Amino acid sequence: MLDPAFSSITPFMASDESTSANSAVDAQADIESNHAKHSVPADIDGLPERRKHASSPSADSQSVLAYRQDTAERHSQLIRKFRTLMPLPASPTSLPVLAYDRSPRSTDNFRSSNDFDLPEDCNPTGWNDLYVSGSGSIASLDQLTRLNPCREHPVTVLDAREESHAIVGGYPCTWRTPNNWSNVGRSREEVLADEHDRIRLLKAQEKVQIIHRKDLKDEAPNPRMVTLNKPQIFSEEELVRAANAKYVRLTVTDHLAPRAEDVDAFIATERGMERHERLHVHCEAGLGRTSIFIVMHDMLNNAATASFEDIIRRQRAFNPGRSLDSHKDVSHKGRSDFRNDRSEFLSLFYEYAKSNPKGQPSSWSKWLDHQHREHSP
């Protein structure tokens, strides 16, 4: 049974702790300002740039026809791409290491549409009815009660993380490998089984040692460590349900576009939500996967009345960092192709959302199949 006092845990620190863990993990290191003043790159919507029409009627007609043909071909290419199984990165060769994502009670990258005023140059259509929020990993009841879950205003917490994780002595912890790809290629059932087994084995330990996420990532020679004596250990689902919120787990690979099965599960969640029910999305840092699903939520609710560019522009203002910037250079991390996949996925999902407001009547997979049949030669 989850102890209600867990909402304000002060973890026991062993004397061999190398550096105080009370400073928040620097999850903001790579974040750059990316507000609505930035224009939407032409390639982020997955479509070719609009051609400038010639002045003569005949040339104008030819140009429009060519644009439509280019657009239709690009649409067909994206349908074929996302209808099939997407390429996955290679499985890591190193064993997962238990690392803490940030310090207890930290609320990295928390934002709520209810508390955010859009810039004047953003289209506000449907914004006030989104009831969506996002953050980094969840570790306490305090973070959940901030969402005010109750019978009149229910809250669904969408955990988008594929990597195995748990709350250990108040710390949000992850079994990490490079790029967070420890569970890449595994099914949802395999991921949940791995997480369950790791938590069970961890609970049997008298002492648990965890390493600072950033120091592990940077291979620091003297990483910050925390040693906990017989700490309380919970799965995130236990924590969320103790706060009287609903819990939905998707196993989305970090840095990649979501798979069709994850998109279908998300759409099923959206269909089951009550009017004015809050959707809270999180991943590890509260940036990439969190931003993607917040954009998808906006599209499902507003694609019929707001353009793709309008939605991307206001979501760039709302979401921190450069998660929606297709031009961010991640080539040194081996993730460039996957980042482009995310941009293309969002452009295609917008077309789905226009045809299926609030995810009705077709699922993502069925819509892809239908589009494939319609556009096949």
Q: Residue 238: exposed, middle, or buried by beta-carbon count in 10 A (0-12, 13-18, 19+)?
A: middle
Find out whether 365 and 266 touch, Cβ atoms under 8 Å: no
Find out whether 17 and 227 touch, Cβ atoms under 8 Å: yes
> Residue 232: CB partners within 8 Å, gap ≥ 6?
3, 6, 9, 167, 168, 169, 170
Q: What is the pLDDT of residue 31?
A: 38
User: Which residues sit opposite 212 in a β-bridge?
Assistant: 100
Q: What is the DSSP letter of 246?
A: E
Q: Residue 297: exposed, middle, or buried by beta-carbon count in 10 A (0-12, 13-18, 19+)?
A: buried
Q: What is the pLDDT of residue 85?
A: 87
Q: Residue 307: exposed, middle, or buried by beta-carbon count in 10 A (0-12, 13-18, 19+)?
A: middle
Entry field: residues in the chain: 377
Q: What is the pLDDT of residue 86?
A: 85
Which residue, chain included where needed, has tokens 């609009």?
50
Delineate the domains of the chain, giving CATH numbers in brackets.
4-29+84-375 (3.90.190.10)
Rounded to whole angstroms, the Cα distance separating 107 from 104 reads 9
Q: What is the pLDDT of residue 151?
A: 81
Distance of CA 349 to the CA centre of its chain: 15
* Low-confidence spans in the chain with pLDDT less than 70: 1-70, 322-323, 325-337, 377
Find out whether 126 and 315 touch, Cβ atoms under 8 Å: no
pLDDT tens track for 142-186: 888 888 888 888 999 999 999 999 999 999 999 999 999 999 999
Rounded to whole angstroms, the Cα distance separating 334 from 224 reads 27
Rounded to whole angstroms, the Cα distance separating 278 from 257 reads 23
Rounded to 5 degrees, what are φ and ψ at 335?
-125, 10
> Residue 213: CB partners within 8 Å, gap ≥ 6?
25, 27, 99, 100, 101, 102, 174, 176
Strands 97-100 and 278-282, by their bridges, are unpaired
Residue in 103, 240, 225 with CA at minimum distance from that of residue 172? 103
Q: What is the pLDDT of residue 168?
A: 97
pLDDT tens track for 314-336: 999 999 776 676 555 555 566 66
Q: What is the pLDDT of residue 42?
A: 39
Q: Supply the pTM of this predicted model.
A: 0.81
Q: Determine the residue type at 139.
A: A
Q: What is the pLDDT of residue 12?
A: 31
- As a dihedral over the C-alpha atoms of residue 71, residue 73, residue 76, residue 77, rounded to 10 degrees, the angle is -110
